[in-house]
């Protein structure tokens, strides 16, 4: 068995190097295909980072009356933190709210004078709530609104700004879902196109050796012995294409990371490439082996019936 495998591998390597033009075309097409797959992975990473950044900025705020006691507010905070849908709860005291208000309106002397004339702090404390997922905000608001969940909360809560932010939260939730579906559809379309292109290219190599296949078939060569070298040649082409793609990605992601990181909120493509190199290597090499091997396996079946 080892001897047969060695002969098949040797024949495949010989066929790959002998048919230089066809092999070059195969590697070129598969490199383009794998580059598309790698680009989709990078775009998916960029999009995920962008959505995560937007999601991190979305929250809901619970505003309390100015007469609410801090101990009662902290009780509400503690109850919310125990909910599985809540990622974080940030408490802002009335004094902090006033200091932040003054800082935001430092250049508006009329507003500051009006505030000083009041003689007291008109701002109440608040809680900023971040959910584990944007779709969970509605459930959190329902939990807060039910006084039986947090006894006494309804008497100290002045308002919840969920409904002001609801349109943004809904759009973000819809964008995440749509993006995931679109990404899957794009990958599927390119995967099918890649298989078709690789199949046609490998079939060209097999077509050029159709007479040789027919002779081998007539003298009693097994299907595996006939098919094996073409599969090996396809796998060699796939591995080479993956390696070329990885080499191309290095300077491309370095250049992109250097020039567009500020546009992407600090997300650096080259850093992502280096930190996820093993994942990219496995995906691209695996895809190259599958594309080249499966395309050769399927394409040669026609001539095995001779």
| Per-residue model confidence as pLDDT tens digits over 216-231 | 777 777 777 777 787 8
The CATH number covering residue 72 comes to 3.30.70.3040
pLDDT band at residue 247 using 50, 70 and 90 as cut-offs: very high
Q: Hey, which residues does 90 pair with through a beta bridge?
A: 128
Residue that is last in its domain, among 131, 164, 197: 164
The predicted-structure confidence for 13-49, as pLDDT tens digits, reads as follows 776 677 677 778 778 878 888 888 888 888 878 877 8
> What does the pLDDT look like over 102-154, one tens digit per residue?
888 778 777 777 777 777 778 888 899 988 887 788 888 888 888 777 777 77
At residue 306 the predicted structure's pLDDT band, cuts being 50, 70 and 90, is very low
The verdict on 146 and 279 lying in the same domain is no
| Co-location of 118 and 250 in the same domain | no
Handedness of CA 97, 100, 106, 108 (dihedral sign): negative
Residues 72 and 210 in one domain: no
Alpha carbon of 298 to those of 10, 158, 202, 289: distances in Å? Answer: 21, 68, 10, 14
Domain boundary among 164, 182, 201: 164
How many structural domains comprise the chain? 2
The reply to whether 156 and 12 lie within a common domain is: no
212 shares a domain with 246: yes
Mean pLDDT, the chain, rounded, equals: 79
Q: 137-175 burial string, b = 16+ CB within 10 Å, else e?
A: bbebbebbeeeeebeebeebbeebebeebeeebeebbeb
Domain co-membership, 155 together with 282: no
Q: Domain limits at 12?
A: 2-54+172-304
Answer with the one of 129, 148, 164 that is the final residue of a domain: 164
| Residues 209 and 123 both lie in one domain | no
Same domain, 85 and 231: no
CB contact set of 28 (below 8 Å; sequence gap of 6+) = none
Mean pLDDT of 8-15: 70
Identify how many contiguous H helices and E strands the chain contains and give both numbers: 12, 4
């Amino acid at each position: 068995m080892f001897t047969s495998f060695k002969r098949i591998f040797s024949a495949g390597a010989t066929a790959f190097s002998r048919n230089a033009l066809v092999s070059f075309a195969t590697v070129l097409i598969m490199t383009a295909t794998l580059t598309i797959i790698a680009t989709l992975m990078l775009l998916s990473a960029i999009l995920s980072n962008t959505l995560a950044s937007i999601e991190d900025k979305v929250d809901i705020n619970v505003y309390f009356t100015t007469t609410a006691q801090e101990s009662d507010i902290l009780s509400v905070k503690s109850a919310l933190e125990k909910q599985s849908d809540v990622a974080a709860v940030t408490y802002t005291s009335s004094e902090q709210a006033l200091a932040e208000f003054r800082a935001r309106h430092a250049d508006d002397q009329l507003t500051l004078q009006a505030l000083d004339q009041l003689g007291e702090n008109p701002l109440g404390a608040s809680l900023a709530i971040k959910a584990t997922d944007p779709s969970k905000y509605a459930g959190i608001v329902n939990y807060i609104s039910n006084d039986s969940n947090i006894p006494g909360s309804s008497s100290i809560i002045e308002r919840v700004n969920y409904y002001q932010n609801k349109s943004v939260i809904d759009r973000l939730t819809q964008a995440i879902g749509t993006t995931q579906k679109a990404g899957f559809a794009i990958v599927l379309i390119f995967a099918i196109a890649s298989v078709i292109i690789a199949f046609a290219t490998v079939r060209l190599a097999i077509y050029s050796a159709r007479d040789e296949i027919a002779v081998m078939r007539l003298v009693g060569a097994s299907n595996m012995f006939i098919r094996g070298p073409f599969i090996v040649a396809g796998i060699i082409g796939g591995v080479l294409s993956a390696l070329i793609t990885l080499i191309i990605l290095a300077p491309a992601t370095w250049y992109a990371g250097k020039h567009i990181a500020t546009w992407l909120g600090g997300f650096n493509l080259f850093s992502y490439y280096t930190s996820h190199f093993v994942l990219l290597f496995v995906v691209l090499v695996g895809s190259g082996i599958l594309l080249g091997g499966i395309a050769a396996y399927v394409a040669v079946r026609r001539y095995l019936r001779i």
